Amino acid sequence: MTLDPITTEVVISRIRETTAAMAHALFHSGYSPILRESQDGTAGLCDAQGRVIMVGGGLQYHSVLYSHAVESVCARYPRDEIHEGDSFISNDPYKVGNSHVPDFVVITPIFHDGEIVAFGASVAHKADVGGLVPGSSGAAAREIFHDGVLIPPVRYWTRDGVNREIEAILHNNSRVPEVVIGDLRGQIGSTRLGAERLSALCTEYGPDIVCAAMAGLIARTTARVRTEFARWPDGEHESEALLDHDGADRSRPVRIKVTARKSGDRLTLDFSGTDVQAKGPVNAPAPTTRAVSLLAVIAASDPTIPMNSGVLDAVEFVLPPSTLVNPQFPATVNHYFPTSHIVYTCVLAALGKFNPARAVAPAGFGTGAIAIGYTKGRAGKPTVQYELMTTSLGGTSTHDGTALVLPMNHFTPGTPVEIIETEYPVMVQRFDIWRDSAGAGRQRGGIGHVREYRLLVDCVLTARTSNHRQGAHGLDGGKDPPLSRTIINPGTPQEEEMDCMETRIVPAGTVIRLEQTGGAGYGDPRERPVRLVQADLDNGYISPEAAVAHYQQS
């Protein structure tokens, strides 16, 4: 069916509004700060074949795994066994493609006149799903079973309500079961809201028109991406970067390498030079590798291109099995995010050589999270403080890097200090800019920051940051930012620097300082206008010494 442009735009706008409403419902029904404050989740729609149509929320790399999840559910449950009112869940990365075990996937079939016309989908991080440490993402993990309880695709909800047997299993395998189940039910609700609204749209316009509009969106996306590729010169470019180590062998770094080959309107991303899968938890599942690579494709071409299955259709991948970017069962994957960020960085760097106008210096390395387990939180119950660690973006050919923005997503907000201190027995005694933390350049990187926590009770601390030894590099003459660090009891005789991946039992009164680096610089710093250097001095972003050393200003 061929639709006229006006009908197409009206239907797609309604779908966009639906996914926005789904994301709004997801975040506003969240029990955990990681969901309701940091918004570590998404909700969106797939068509009847499982192709991604649209994703609501900031973590757009969730999109590709929606398709894997739909395929996995349909492989386990034949379509004649899927009924209106059903919702399915799973958190097994090797079955549904989620990035790591704490990410739960919800799939809700959308019916109209007794036929499946689409699927509602949601992915959201859970505060704790068992495993070796509070937060379920331990540095000592050596297989997927160390990461927490693994739920295959199962029917969790029907028209009669929740499957209490499944919920009992989840309750029995979490340190904070009420929070986990509350968040999961919020996911269910967001997908069922999407189902209700899309079904109503089908009633209003007819399912054929709605399905044609969705198919047209995917086709146009593919065409837009290939049109961008056609403008680039043919050729081949490489890029690589390092993680400090894999968490198991701390003596050597881990390499991610990509070769981008472009011919006509075709692009292939080949990861054959990447290291073999790790014994430690830094592996990134293949769906995540594809998704973050596609985000780099959009960033390097046209950021107005929507993220859906049409982008995936336009790019070919070579992901050798048993590598860091395509691990095989039962490899652990709980610390996938820093690896994914470096994948994104490498793809963006390689593509920037095809399209220099869209080149961007790397964001600061040092991404990840901290997880702190308390036997008794502010409410008197066991609780887990799980916070995402942000850095800052790199400079571009036209702008300084943005500060305190999670690389790759360019979205995820940190948890507000007031929420942290209200929920957990901890005091945030410092949250400040980190002077001289940005890579110098004609366009400098975004400024990094320092965050200090004073722990008020004994607890279990897991640092899941990254790149304390291997940092980001400036572009086109720009300078490197400093390395991120995690320090215990800074400024005291007991001061000690933690490894980027480490779990410790720490006593009450311990102070933890996280120094999260800024972004890399773009262009020769000596070409930076004097007024901008002076503004950075006035704002405290750089010191007089750095101004002289990098910008030859006094």
- The total domain count for the chain is 2
On whether residue 550 sits in a domain, the answer given is yes
Note the pLDDT of residue 412: 62
Indicate the Cα dihedral angle 146, 151, 152, 158, nearest 10°: -170
**H/E stretch holding 295:** helix 286-301
Note the pLDDT of residue 542: 96
Residue that terminates a domain, selected from 222, 241, 261: 222
CA 9 to chain centre: 29
C-beta of residue 541 within 8 angstroms of C-beta of residue 403: no
Percent pLDDT > 90 in the chain is: 90
Compute the average pLDDT of residues 149-172: 96
Compute the average pLDDT of residues 249-264: 96
Compute the average pLDDT of residues 214-222: 96
pTM: 0.95
Determine the structural domain holding residue 389 and report its residue range: 360-554
On whether residue 510 sits in a domain, the answer given is yes
On whether residue 100 sits in a domain, the answer given is yes
Residue 554 has pLDDT above 60, yes or no: no
Instruction: Give the model confidence (pLDDT) of 400-457 as tens digits.
Output: 999 998 888 777 677 899 999 999 999 999 999 999 999 999 999 999 999 999 999 9
Strand order in the sheet with 501-506: 383-389, 368-374, 459-464, 501-506
On whether residue 275 sits in a domain, the answer given is no
Query: Which residue has tokens 């419902």?
Result: 25
Note the pLDDT of residue 452: 96
On whether residue 351 sits in a domain, the answer given is no
Task: Pick the closest to residue 454 from 483, 485, 417, 482 (CA basis).
Answer: 417
Which alpha helices (DSSP H) does 206-285 contain, by range? 207-231
Residue that terminates a domain, selected from 166, 192, 222: 222
Note the pLDDT of residue 410: 75
Kindly give the pairing relationship between strand 254-263 and strand 266-270. antiparallel
Instruction: Give the model confidence (pLDDT) of 465-513 as tens digits.
Output: 888 999 999 999 999 999 999 999 999 999 999 999 999 999 999 999 9
Compute the average pLDDT of residues 137-144: 93
Compute the average pLDDT of residues 83-100: 96
Note the pLDDT of residue 29: 93
Note the pLDDT of residue 236: 97
On whether residue 307 sits in a domain, the answer given is no
Instruction: Give the model confidence (pLDDT) of 124-134 as tens digits.
Output: 999 999 999 99
DSSP state of 327: -
Note the pLDDT of residue 261: 98
Query: Which residue has tokens 């002289």?
Result: 548
Note the pLDDT of residue 553: 53
List residues bridging with 125 in a β-sheet.
103
DSSP state of 529: -
On whether residue 460 sits in a domain, the answer given is yes
Instruction: Give the model confidence (pLDDT) of 192-213 as tens digits.
Output: 999 999 999 999 999 999 999 9
Instruction: Give the model confidence (pLDDT) of 4-16 as tens digits.
Output: 889 999 999 999 9
Residue that terminates a domain, selected from 171, 196, 222: 222
Cα(205)–Cα(187) distance, integer angstroms:
27
Instruction: Give the model confidence (pLDDT) of 268-299 as tens digits.
Output: 999 999 999 999 999 999 999 999 999 999 99
Note the pLDDT of residue 57: 87
Note the pLDDT of residue 474: 95
Task: Classify residue 246 as exposed, middle or buried by CB count within 10 Å of its CB (0-12, 13-18, 19+).
Answer: buried
On whether residue 408 sits in a domain, the answer given is yes
Note the pLDDT of residue 343: 97
Residue 401, CA distances (Å) to 74, 392, 481, 532 in order: 43, 7, 12, 13
